[in-house]
């Protein structure tokens, strides 16, 4: 046996040994569409003459991108999705419940599954050893209609992170460092697999950040073996029975193995307009920032909010900067209310918006002005990403975001910890 994690999951799924390069047709465990691509998905189903999902209980419609809806066109589109979900008996995640990838992690994803979504960050589920991958509306429509999809079994690049991340350095910094090395196309058509002692020691929220950004290097999937942490996470979600241990074989073949020493990773920032345009925070310190956003499917979980709140406690957001905080899910929001994280953030001057994609993709609130620099904890910074092509988007960890909000310029979180 010499299978990578991808080959293992896909072989189990199709019931025979498959290896990189093969094209397979496989069943899908969950397929979802959100309010940005959902209307097109159901239109494509209609055009194909398919009336209902092959498996309504595996089909999920999620309203997360525009929450709450800012205008009647979007409201009508969301209503169309809601009606379709009810009519077909599909699962439905209402506006305010959370960002699709966070909802999938909390309620659905488990090891060995195949998950398709009309969203590139469906790779997030890889942190739970689920083969999650993003596809376009038509591919997902076919999966909804037939319950299956076609895939090319990917080659795999192994990323090995050993050692301990220093204080003030997080999985986001590690991932930005990896992408800087891989470049934004370095893993195109391939899978990423993360391993090493630092990954083994990571909490699930930290792992979700890594897998989430696999697509920023072009990868099809970003997988992590399932272990005790996965098991505990599933148990905490009342889904313990879905745990199974999946890991690659010792002799699995990788096209490349990149090794990193966690102790050498520094707080890292991606500069506009590409995710691989990285600098260390020390190189970037002093760059003025007009807006800071803490949220998104990359870093909008409760642990991220707590990291930011610990730094912002008793301090004020700089008068030249705005801070917007958007919890990734309703549950995140509720936990942040219960443990007073939210109070700390609000007292510091943060504006808190409802669970959803928020500022991340530039269609809702928080659009930066011409010439502004916005620093966000999300995952991509292409020109115009946050709504204004005349502004620049910078990516960093929640800790870097919090100190930057206080200073009004890019600053090193290690100074305040």
Partner 1 sequence: MNMEGKTWPFISTAWKFGDSISTDHISPGRYFHLRTNLPELTKHTLEDAREEYASNVKSGDFVVAGRNFGMGSSREHAAIMIKMSGAGAVVAKSFARIFYRNAINVGLPAIICNTDKIADKDQLSIDLELGKLKNETKGFELTFSPIPKEMMKILSEGGLVPYIKKYGDLKL
Q: Which residues bind partner 1 (CB under 8 A)?
A: 23, 25, 36-37, 39-40, 44, 47-50, 65-66, 71, 73-74, 77, 117-120, 122, 134-139, 142, 145-146, 148-150, 184-185, 188-189, 218, 220, 274, 361-363, 367, 380, 382-385, 387-389
Per rule CB under 6 A, is residue 376 in the interface with ligand SF4? no
* Interface with ligand SF4: number of residues (CB under 6 A): 13
Confirm if 384 and 278 have CB atoms less than 8 A apart: no
Q: Which of 136, 132, 212, 193 is nearest to 380 (CA)?
A: 212
Nearer to partner 1, 66 or 103 (CB): 66
Show the DSSP H helices in 125-190 as ranges. Answer: 137-146, 171-182
Among partner 1, ligand SF4, none, what binds residue 296 when CB lies within 5 to 8 Å by partner kind? ligand SF4
CA atoms within 13 A on the CB side of 273: 10
CA atoms within 13 A on the CB side of 76: 3
Per rule CB under 6 A, is residue 357 in the interface with ligand SF4? yes
Per rule CB under 6 A, is residue 378 in the interface with ligand SF4? yes
Among ligand SF4, partner 1, none, what binds residue 256 when CB lies within 5 to 8 Å by partner kind? none
Per rule CB under 6 A, is residue 177 in the interface with ligand SF4? no
Q: Which of 177, 196, 61, 191 is nearest to 117 (CA)?
A: 61
Nearer to ligand SF4, 359 or 399 (CB): 359
**Could you tell me the CA-to-CA distances from 195 to 226, 243, 258, 302 in Å, in that order?**
11, 19, 10, 24
Structure tokens at 232: 């505990």
Nearer to ligand SF4, 13 or 385 (CB): 385
Nearer to ligand SF4, 26 or 376 (CB): 376
Per rule CB under 6 A, is residue 106 in the interface with ligand SF4? no
Among partner 1, ligand SF4, none, what binds residue 389 when CB lies within 5 to 8 Å by partner kind? partner 1
Write the Ramachandran bin of 356: left for phi over 0, alpha for psi from -120 to 50, otherwise beta.
left
Nearer to partner 1, 143 or 405 (CB): 143
Structure tokens at 303: 């642990």
Q: How far is the CB of 174 from ligand SF4 (least distance, A)?
A: 19
Instruction: Give every CB contact of residue 362 below 8 A, 6+ residues apart in sequence.
Output: 384, 385, 386, 387, 388
> Between residue 5 and residue 34, which ones bind ligand SF4 under the rule CB under 6 A?
none
CA distance 367 to 87: 36
- Residue ranges binding ligand SF4 (CB under 6 A): 65, 99-101, 119, 121, 296-297, 357, 360-361, 378-379
């Amino acid at each position: 046996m010499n299978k990578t994690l991808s080959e293992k999951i896909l072989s189990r799924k199709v019931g025979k040994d498959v290896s990189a390069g093969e094209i397979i047709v496989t069943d899908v465990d969950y397929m979802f569409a959100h309010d940005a691509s959902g209307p097109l998905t159901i239109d494509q189903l209609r055009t194909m003459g398919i009336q209902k999902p092959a498996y309504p209980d595996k089909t999920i419609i999620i309203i997360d991108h525009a929450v709450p809806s800012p205008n009647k066109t979007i409201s009508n589109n969301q209503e169309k999705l809601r009606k379709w979900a009810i009519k077909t008996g599909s699962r439905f995640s209402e506006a305010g419940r959370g960002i699709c990838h966070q909802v999938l992690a909390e309620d659905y994803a488990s090891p060995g599954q195949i998950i398709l979504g009309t969203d590139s960050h469906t790779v997030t589920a890889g942190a739970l050893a689920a083969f999650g991958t993003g596809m376009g509306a038509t591919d997902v429509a076919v999966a909804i209609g037939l319950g299956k999809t076609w895939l090319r079994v990917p080659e795999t690049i192994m990323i090995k992170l050993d050692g301990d991340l220093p204080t003030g350095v997080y999985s986001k910094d590690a991932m930005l460092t990896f992408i800087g090395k891989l470049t934004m196309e370095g893993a195109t058509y391939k899978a990423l697999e993360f391993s090493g002692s630092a990954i083994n020691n990571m909490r699930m929220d930290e792992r979700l950040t890594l897998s989430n950004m696999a697509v920023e290097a072009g990868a099809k999937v970003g997988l992590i073996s399932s272990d005790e942490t996965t098991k505990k996470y599933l148990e905490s979600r009342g889904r313990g029975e879905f745990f199974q241990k999946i890991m690659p074989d010792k002799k699995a073949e990788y096209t490349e193995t990149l090794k990193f020493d966690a102790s050498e990773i520094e707080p890292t920032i991606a500069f506009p307009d590409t995710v691989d345009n990285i600098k260390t925070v020390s190189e970037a310190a002093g760059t003025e920032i007009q807006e800071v956003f803490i949220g998104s499917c990359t870093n909008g979980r409760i642990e991220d909010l707590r990291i930011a709140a610990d730094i912002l406690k008793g301090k004020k957001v700089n008068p030249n900067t705005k801070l917007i905080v958007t919890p990734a899910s309703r549950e995140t929001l509720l936990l942040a209310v219960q443990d007073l994280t939210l109070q700390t953030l609000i007292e510091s001057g943060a504006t808190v918006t409802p669970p959803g994609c928020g500022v991340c993709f530039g269609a809702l609130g928080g659009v930066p002005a011409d010439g502004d620099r916005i620093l966000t904890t999300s995952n991509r910074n292409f020109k115009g990403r946050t709504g204004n092509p005349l502004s620049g988007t910078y990516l960093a960890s929640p800790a870097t975001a919090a100190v930057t909000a206080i200073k009004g310029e890019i600053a090193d979180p290690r100074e305040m910890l």
